[in-house]
Amino acid sequence: MQREQDRQAKLRPYVEILSFWGESIEDYLFVLDVEQQQFYFSSCIWEKYPLPFLDISFGIEDWISVIDVRDRNRVAEKLEEIKNGQTDQISLEHRMIDRKGVSVWVNCIGKCVSYEEGKPSIIAGSISENVVSKKIDQLTGLQNQTVLEKIFQDAFQKNETGYFLMLGIDDFKNVNDKYGRKYGDEQLKKLAEIIDKNLDYDSQLYRLDGDKFGANLVGYTKDSAKAFYDRIKTDFSIQTYSTVSAGAVGYPMDVNNYHNLYQYAEDALNQSKQQGKNKLSFFSLDNYKGHLFFIDLKEEILESIKNNFEGFYIYYQPVVKNEDGTLVKSEALMRWRSKQYGEISPVVFIPILEQTGLILEAGKWILEQATKQCCQWREFLPNFRMNINLSYIQLKDKRLMEIVFDALKKANLPGSAIILEVTESIQLQDYSYFNLLFYQLNKKGIQISIDDFGTGYSSLGYLKELRVDEIKIDRCFVKSIQEGGYNSHLIKNMIELAHSVNIRVCVEGVETIEERTVLQKLSPDVIQGYYFGKPETPDVFYEKFITKAKSGQPIVDDGERKVVSEKNNLLQKNSKNYLNLLDELDDIIYVCDVETYELYYINKLGQKLTGVYDYTGKKCYEVFQREEGGCSDCERECLEQGTFHTKIKKEKNVEFLIKEKLITWNGKPARLQIVADNGIKI
């Protein structure tokens, strides 16, 4: 009894101070009677939170009942620790549910002001909404990035495991622009609500920059993180008709510090966005390094361009007439050498130029350089032309025509000297825009070519709708093309269709003699590919191709020979068959060297009648006349190439017709003789 009275006496002054201070500050002050498990509060807390207000005090159960269920365990555990004397302080951030049912983040701090038998008996402290307000996002009521950082510092220290998911609404900027900020805010709130609802009590959601949220999924596995995302994705699309993408990082497997965790998650989220959105990507270190490489290149390219296109140069690839392989034009292909990484493929750096908009400057540069080059080569070949690639971004640039015309003027070149290549892509479908542009370019003689033809969505549509002068059939149709095969039919049809509407056809990427041979028969107008020449520096291009073209030669010297030799190869392959045919005849057929009389070939009948089956190294007169030193009646001097010399020979009551002529046998002059039984018995 005495003890109780003492305790009350100790408590009283604190409770009195409470009512005094409680009216002058915004925070809620409290005193906790640890033994009695009673809270005493400065007056107004029950106005906001649904606590009993019979008295200024209430029990710990009442207090716990206004704490958000997700945080109840943490708070109850702390109060239990105080009760057991394990700690004498409180410092917690947790949520409370107010009278409107809204979850509010508060900061609860408290300190022991009186001990009994070494254990805390009175704790004095405050509940503050203001302290945490800096850490709370006003729109969604979620904790923000500042808190997240602290949470992860602790998590890494305690070796916790789980997944961190960064989520973002797809095309959120468009949503804001199209429907207004208020609507955008509603979407953010909706997403926060959906994610929050799907979280278990150990996990936590945070609002990050812009439209991004971070969910710390404590103890989750890769599969459960994926299942979690799938639920959000479905709920969000059903409720808002919008989509959400996410990037996930596993800790500590992927990362062991907060800084990297955030970057990695952002990288994985970007990956999802780049791969078409509405999906989840898991972080991969290789991809991340690749992206860093991209960022490095981006910075270096910018620097190069600023330094007057340092590191940029142009290669030129020949384009030849299909008929005879003579040079008609070249394609200008941009090249860039990085100081850090060396030669970089245009397939890598062109997209960077496009993403950064630098393609406008680089495109202008290549137009100026390539037209200048074209002008120089036209001194030797007055009809020489230049194909120059344009990116879609350049096509949409209002200044394009001005830039092209300026370049032509500077180079003193007519419009007809250049052909602008535009890549077949979905974006070309704005037919009226492009037709007007192409018409205006055409008026100056500039032609338009559709690059990579056949690889897009609506190749045939372009032929019908766009006023273009040339199509370039992509290499994918050419690779390993075979006569009569599927691709050769396809190319044949494309060529016929293009020709029917007066569009020129270039076939690209011709690498081998086989491809060249098959294509030649399909009659495209021009061809381009490694078979004729790789892209080269201007000097090499001049040496290799212009010099030949000046004298009207095809640029691949051995082009025709290769074709012929290829035919010979085929013949050789088939020669066994042909020789077998000769074996079926009733005539004796043989071939021998003109000078040495050495036998090259005797057909089956000849072998049978002479009885000589192995004739190698033998001479014709040895085998047929059984004479040494030559035939008395040999008439090889009369032999000619092209026409047969004929004579009749009578032998053993039989009349033979002998036909002889000069032929080429394995590259050497040879004598072909056919001995036919005339059917006349004498």
Residue from 281, 391, 449, 610 in contact with ligand C2E (CB under 6 A): 391
Return the one option of Ca ion, ligand C2E, none that residue 53 interacts with (CB less than 5 to 8 A, by type).
none
Residue 333 beta carbon to ligand C2E: minimum distance, rounded to whole angstroms? 4
Site string for ligand C2E, 614-633 (x = CB under 6 A): --------------------
Return the one option of ligand C2E, Ca ion, none that residue 341 interacts with (CB less than 5 to 8 A, by type).
none
As beta bridge partners, residue 473 has 453, 507
- Residue 304 as a binder of ligand C2E (CB under 6 A): the answer is no
Residue from 110, 311, 318, 535 in contact with ligand C2E (CB under 6 A): 535
Backbone angles phi, psi at 326, to 5 degrees: -85, 150
**For residue 311, how many C-alpha atoms fall within 13 Å in the half-sphere facing its CB?**
21
* Contact (Cβ atoms closer than 8 angstroms) between residue 38 and residue 55: no
Q: Which residues, at least 6 apart from 70, have a Cβ–Cβ distance to it below 8 Å?
A: 95, 199, 201
Size of the chain in residues: 682
Both tokens of 389, joined, read 């690639």
* Sequence-ordered strand ranges (E) for 383-516: 385-390, 418-423, 447-453, 470-473, 504-507
Question: Directed axis angle between helix 359-378 and helix 346-356, to 10°?
Answer: 130
CA 430 to chain centroid, in Å, comes to 24
Residue 496 beta carbon to ligand C2E: minimum distance, rounded to whole angstroms? 23
Residue from 266, 300, 451, 536 in contact with ligand C2E (CB under 6 A): 451
Q: Which helix (H) or strand (E) holds 116?
A: strand 103-116
Both tokens of 333, joined, read 């292909």
Region of 196-204, 277-285, 386-394, 645-653 interacting with ligand C2E (CB under 6 A):
386-394
Q: Which is nearer to Ca ion, 211 or 451 (CB)?
A: 451
- Residue 9 as a binder of ligand C2E (CB under 6 A): the answer is no
Calpha distance 107→128 (Å, rounded): 5
Q: Which helix (H) or strand (E) holds 192?
A: helix 181-198
- Residue 56 as a binder of ligand C2E (CB under 6 A): the answer is no
* Contact (Cβ atoms closer than 8 angstroms) between residue 14 and residue 113: yes
Residue 179 beta carbon to ligand C2E: minimum distance, rounded to whole angstroms? 35
Residue 295 beta carbon to ligand C2E: minimum distance, rounded to whole angstroms? 21
- Residue 50 as a binder of ligand C2E (CB under 6 A): the answer is no
Return the one option of Ca ion, ligand C2E, none that residue 391 interacts with (CB less than 5 to 8 A, by type).
ligand C2E
Q: Which is nearer to ligand C2E, 534 or 650 (CB)?
A: 534
- Residue 27 as a binder of Ca ion (CB under 5 A): the answer is no
Q: Which is nearer to ligand C2E, 133 or 326 (CB)?
A: 326
Query: Which residues, numbered 385-414, are part of the site for Ca ion (CB under 5 A)?
Result: 389
Residue 188 beta carbon to ligand C2E: minimum distance, rounded to whole angstroms? 38
Residue from 369, 373, 389, 603 in contact with ligand C2E (CB under 6 A): 389
Pairing of strands 470-473, 504-507: parallel
Q: Which is nearer to ligand C2E, 535 or 606 (CB)?
A: 535
Q: Which is nearer to ligand C2E, 191 or 466 (CB)?
A: 466
Residue 478 beta carbon to ligand C2E: minimum distance, rounded to whole angstroms? 8
- Residue 343 as a binder of ligand C2E (CB under 6 A): the answer is no
Residue from 252, 346, 415, 454 in contact with ligand C2E (CB under 6 A): 346
- Residue 347 as a binder of ligand C2E (CB under 6 A): the answer is yes
- HEC assignment per residue over 42-57: CCCHHHHCCCCCCCCE
Site string for ligand C2E, 493-512 (x = CB under 6 A): ----------------xxx-
Residue 509 beta carbon to ligand C2E: minimum distance, rounded to whole angstroms? 4
Residue 394 beta carbon to ligand C2E: minimum distance, rounded to whole angstroms? 7
Return the one option of ligand C2E, Ca ion, none that residue 192 interacts with (CB less than 5 to 8 A, by type).
none
Question: Directed axis angle between helix 222-240 and helix 181-198, to 10°?
Answer: 140
Both tokens of 238, joined, read 């059903």
Residue 358 beta carbon to ligand C2E: minimum distance, rounded to whole angstroms? 11
* Contact (Cβ atoms closer than 8 angstroms) between residue 577 and residue 528: no
Residue 352 beta carbon to ligand C2E: minimum distance, rounded to whole angstroms? 12
User: How would DSSP label each residue in 553-581?
Assistant: --SSTTHHHHHHHHHHHHHHHHHHHHHHH
Q: What is the dihedral of CA 280, 285, 287, 293, to 10 degrees?
A: 140
* Contact (Cβ atoms closer than 8 angstroms) between residue 414 and residue 445: yes
Q: Which residues, at least 6 apart from 132, have a Cβ–Cβ distance to it below 8 Å?
A: 93, 105, 106, 107, 143
Site string for Ca ion, 420-439 (x = CB under 5 A): -x------------------
- Residue 475 as a binder of ligand C2E (CB under 6 A): the answer is yes
Q: Which residues, at least 6 apart from 140, have a Cβ–Cβ distance to it below 8 Å?
A: 188, 189, 192, 207
Return the one option of ligand C2E, Ca ion, none that residue 589 interacts with (CB less than 5 to 8 A, by type).
none
Residue from 71, 196, 267, 451 in contact with Ca ion (CB under 5 A): 451
User: Three-state DSSP class for 433?
Assistant: helix
CA 600 to chain centroid, in Å, comes to 59
- Residue 470 as a binder of Ca ion (CB under 5 A): the answer is no
- Residue 366 as a binder of ligand C2E (CB under 6 A): the answer is yes
* Contact (Cβ atoms closer than 8 angstroms) between residue 95 and residue 75: no
* Contact (Cβ atoms closer than 8 angstroms) between residue 346 and residue 334: yes
- Residue 452 as a binder of ligand C2E (CB under 6 A): the answer is yes
Region of 267-275, 378-386, 447-455, 610-618 interacting with Ca ion (CB under 5 A):
447-455
Backbone angles phi, psi at 575, to 5 degrees: -60, -35
Region of 222-230, 321-329, 418-426, 485-493 interacting with Ca ion (CB under 5 A):
418-426
As beta bridge partners, residue 660 has 645, 673
Angle at 400 between CA 396 and CA 401, to 5 degrees: 130
- Residue 350 as a binder of ligand C2E (CB under 6 A): the answer is yes
Residue from 254, 452, 470, 525 in contact with Ca ion (CB under 5 A): 452
Q: Which is nearer to ligand C2E, 529 or 559 (CB)?
A: 529
- Residue 530 as a binder of ligand C2E (CB under 6 A): the answer is yes
Region of 12-20, 203-211, 346-354, 538-546 interacting with ligand C2E (CB under 6 A):
346-354
Q: Which alpha helices (DSSP H) does 431-533 contain, by range?
A: 431-443, 459-465, 486-500, 513-522
Closest CA to 378 of 424, 320, 328: 328
Q: In what order do the strands lie in the sheet with 645-651?
A: 599-602, 588-593, 668-681, 654-665, 645-651
Site string for ligand C2E, 308-337 (x = CB under 6 A): ---------x---------------xx---
Return the one option of ligand C2E, Ca ion, none that residue 529 interacts with (CB less than 5 to 8 A, by type).
ligand C2E
Return the one option of ligand C2E, Ca ion, none that residue 155 interacts with (CB less than 5 to 8 A, by type).
none
Q: Contact positions toward ligand C2E, by CB under 6 A?
A: 317, 333-334, 345-347, 350, 366, 389-391, 451-452, 475, 509-511, 528-530, 535
Q: Contact positions toward Ca ion, by CB under 5 A?
A: 389, 421, 451-452
